[in-house]
Amino acid sequence: MDPAASSGNSSSNSSGGGAIPATLIPGDGIGPEIMDATLQVLDALGAPFAWETQQAGMAALEASGDPLPEATLDSIRRTGLALKGPLTTPVGGGFRSVNVRLRELFQLYANVRPARTLVPGRYENIDLVLVRENVGGFYVAHDYYIAVGDDPRAVAVSTGTNTRADCLRIARFAFEYALRNGRRKVTVVHKANILKALTGIFLEAAREVAADYAGRVEMDDRIVDACAMQLVLDPWKFDVLLCTNLFGDILSDQIAGLVGGLGLAPGANIGEHAAVFEAVHGSAPDIAGKGIANPVALMLAAGLMLEHVGRQDLAQRMRTAIDRTLNEDNVRTGDLKGKAGTREFAQAVVRRLG
Ligand code: NAI
Ligand code: MG
pLDDT the model gives residue 308: 95
The answer to whether the CB of 329 falls within 8 A of the CB of 338 is: no
Q: Which of 97, 101, 262, 336 to mutate to test the pocket of ligand 1 (most atoms within 8 A of CB)?
A: 262
The answer to whether the CB of 262 falls within 8 A of the CB of 29 is: no
Residue 94: C-alpha distances to residues 61, 86, 88, 101, 321 (Å)? 11, 17, 11, 14, 41
Alpha carbons 197 and 200: distance in angstroms, whole number: 5
CA–centroid distance, 252 to ligand 2, in Å, is: 7
CA–centroid distance, 265 to ligand 1, in Å, is: 11
Asked if 339 is an active-site residue, the reply is no
pLDDT tens for residues 231-273? 999 999 999 999 999 999 999 999 999 998 899 999 999 999 9
Per the residue annotation, which of 74, 221, 253, 329 is the catalytic one? 253
Measured from the CA of 285, which atom of ligand 1 is nearest?
Answer: 28
Asked if 191 is an active-site residue, the reply is yes
CATH class assigned to 122-256: alpha beta
Q: What's 17's DSSP letter?
A: S
Asked if 213 is an active-site residue, the reply is no
Residues 6+ apart with CB under 8 A from 2: 32, 36
pLDDT the model gives residue 95: 80
pLDDT the model gives residue 90: 76
Measured from the CA of 98, which atom of ligand 1 is nearest?
Answer: 40
- For residue 160, the surrounding DSSP H or E stretch is strand 151-161
Residue 100: C-alpha distances to residues 40, 87, 107, 326 (Å)? 28, 11, 10, 33
Q: Which of 84, 89, 250, 281 to mutate to test the pocket of ligand 1 (most atoms within 8 A of CB)?
A: 281
Q: Is the CB of 261 under 6 A from ligand 1?
A: no
Q: Is the CB of 262 under 6 A from ligand 1?
A: yes
For ligand 1, atom 13, the nearest C-alpha belongs to 284
Q: Is the CB of 99 under 6 A from ligand 1?
A: yes
- For residue 5, the surrounding DSSP H or E stretch is none
Q: Is the CB of 296 under 6 A from ligand 1?
A: no
CATH class assigned to 19-113+260-353: alpha beta
Q: Is the CB of 84 under 6 A from ligand 1?
A: no
Q: Is the CB of 300 under 6 A from ligand 1?
A: no
For ligand 1, atom 34, the nearest C-alpha belongs to 89
pLDDT tens for residues 154-189? 999 999 999 999 999 999 999 999 999 999 999 999
Per the residue annotation, which of 36, 84, 109, 139 is the catalytic one? 139
The boundaries of every CATH 3.40.718.10 domain in the chain are 19-113+260-353, 122-256
pLDDT the model gives residue 15: 46
Q: Please report which ligand is nearest the Cα atom of 103.
A: 1
Per the residue annotation, which of 2, 143, 220, 225 is the catalytic one? 225
Asked if 139 is an active-site residue, the reply is yes
Q: Is the CB of 28 under 6 A from ligand 1?
A: no
Per-residue pLDDT of the chain (354 residues; tens, 9 = 90+): 444 443 333 444 444 456 999 999 999 999 999 999 999 999 999 999 999 999 999 999 999 999 999 999 999 999 999 999 999 987 777 788 899 899 999 999 999 999 999 988 889 999 999 999 999 999 887 889 999 999 999 999 999 999 999 999 999 999 999 999 999 999 999 999 999 999 999 999 999 999 999 999 999 999 999 999 999 999 999 999 999 999 999 999 999 999 988 999 999 999 999 999 999 999 999 999 999 999 999 999 999 999 999 999 999 999 999 999 999 999 999 999 999 999 999 999 999 998
User: What is the pTM (predicted TM-score) of this model?
Assistant: 0.92
